[in-house]
Amino acid sequence: MAVNDTFADIAALLNPMPARTDDNDDVWNDMAGSVWEAREAEAEQLRLGWEHQDEDPLLSTLDSLRARRLRLEADMRLLIAYGRRFVYPRPYKLIDLAEAAGMSISGVRTAYDTDEIDQAAGILGRSPAPAAETAAEPGAGDGLRAPAT
């Protein structure tokens, strides 16, 4: 009976081998080599976590991916706040942000709050545009594009 290496399996699932095509045939070996190196490094990290910290490789990987997803979602909220409150005199339109973020217009409108605005202000070292100016933007509430002036 064959024994599977869970560490290598997880690393392979997270680092899939690129498909060989006519377009990448001349560089495929380099691409595949990079993937193999990434797989080996990831499998080794999982083994070390198992050996030294008694971490289950699958559960710790899922936990790490969840933390990464939450960080990406926080980054998206911060960038949406920036696009709506720090780009002056014309903030990004709700519809444009919604399309780029894969969200609904109402999702973009409610994606950020004062926490993200304050965080962006602290990072950028400047205050946001007044909320009345962003709300008064033509088409801001309905997601329609205003004509360029």
The span from the CA of 134 to the CA of 149, in Å, is 16
Helix (H) or strand (E) holding 56: none
CB-based burial of residue 35 (10 Å sphere; 0-12 exposed, 13-18 middle, 19+ buried)?
middle
**pLDDT over 70 at 6, yes or no:** yes
Least reliable range by pLDDT among 21-30, 58-67, 96-105: 21-30
Predicted pLDDT of residue 23: 86
Identify the pLDDT of residue 137. Answer: 45
b/e per residue, 49-61, with b = 16+ CB within 10 A?
beeeeebebeebb
pTM: 0.73
What's the pLDDT tens digit per position in 31-51? 999 999 999 999 999 999 999
Cβ atoms of 81 and 120 within 8 Å: the answer is yes
